[in-house]
């Protein structure tokens, strides 16, 4: 008996299914779990992935002499990274021969602080951040964008009390300065900046941190 050919829509569906399977096998398109595997191959342990963003959950702080209020070394699944907070800049924690101009800019931002006062705010910012990070279990949200082609990566850092950058601004320990970014499924960059301005305004009125020195 002669078999009747399959309907056209079935032949088309079969062709599409075979094409997708071959593409996944070849690695042209990601299959289930492909994003995780791809990131692990380049040495980045994946926890939660959304587009270009990766969230590292359960990080711990690594003791490093370079750690300060807005930049620090973290460890996740045995790998270490240096992260730099989006949106905020804490004053320098120490004066050296290369950062005098930056310290002066930071002091002016807080209403005209002396160099010593500015460094004092930087030390307080360092202590504030590291105290919250030493408890461990914090999350780093990053898209692995390097800071000026260095080995640091811009990131949002979430601690139990909230977003670390927002907390620093709320306490008068950081200025709204440096690169920002839209959060995946969260605030757009403009909305985040406005939120930070509101927190900064409250800190100024309450004379918290650097705002209480002038």
> Is 38's pLDDT higher than 70?
no
Answer whether residue 5 shows pLDDT above 60. Answer: no
Tens digits of per-residue pLDDT, 50-102? 899 999 999 999 999 999 999 999 999 999 999 999 999 999 999 999 999 99
90-142, pLDDT tens digit by residue? Answer: 999 999 999 999 999 999 999 999 999 999 999 999 999 999 999 988 999 99
The average confidence (pLDDT) of the chain is 85
Q: Which CATH class is domain 44-212?
A: mainly beta
pLDDT at 185: 85
pTM of the model: 0.79
Full 3-state SS string of the chain: CCCCCCCHHHHHHHHHHHHHHHHHHHCCCCCCCHHHHHHHHCCCCCCEEECCEEEEEEEEECCCCCCCCCEEEEEECCEEEEEEECCEECCCCCCCCCCHHHHHHHHHHCCCCCHHHHHHHHHHHHHHHHHHHHCCCEEEEECCCECCCCCEEEEEEEECCEEHHHHHHHCCCCEECCCCCCCCCCCCHHHHHHHHHHHHHHHHHHCCHHHHCC
């Amino acid at each position: 008996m002669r078999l009747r050919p399959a309907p056209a829509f079935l032949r088309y569906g079969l062709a599409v299914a075979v094409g997708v399977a071959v593409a996944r096998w070849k690695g042209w398109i990601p299959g289930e779990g492909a994003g995780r595997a791809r990131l692990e191959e380049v040495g980045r342990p994946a926890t939660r992935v959304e587009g270009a963003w990766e969230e590292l959950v359960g990080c711990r702080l690594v003791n490093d002499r370079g750690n300060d209020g807005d930049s620090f070394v973290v460890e996740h699944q045995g790998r270490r990274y240096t992260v730099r907070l989006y949106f905020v800049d804490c004053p320098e924690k120490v004066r050296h021969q290369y950062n005098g101009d930056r310290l002066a800019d930071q002091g002016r931002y807080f209403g005209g602080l002396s160099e010593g006062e500015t460094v004092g705010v930087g030390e307080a910012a360092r202590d504030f951040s590291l105290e919250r990070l030493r408890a461990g279990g914090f999350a780093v949200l990053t898209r692995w964008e390097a800071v000026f082609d260095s080995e640091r990566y811009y990131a949002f850092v979430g601690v139990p009390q909230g977003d670390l950058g927002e907390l620093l601004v709320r306490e008068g320990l950081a200025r709204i300065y440096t690169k920002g970014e839209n959060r995946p499924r969260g605030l757009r960059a403009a909305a985040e900046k406005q939120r930070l301005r509101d927190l900064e305004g409250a800190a100024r009125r309450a004379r918290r941190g650097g705002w209480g020195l002038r």
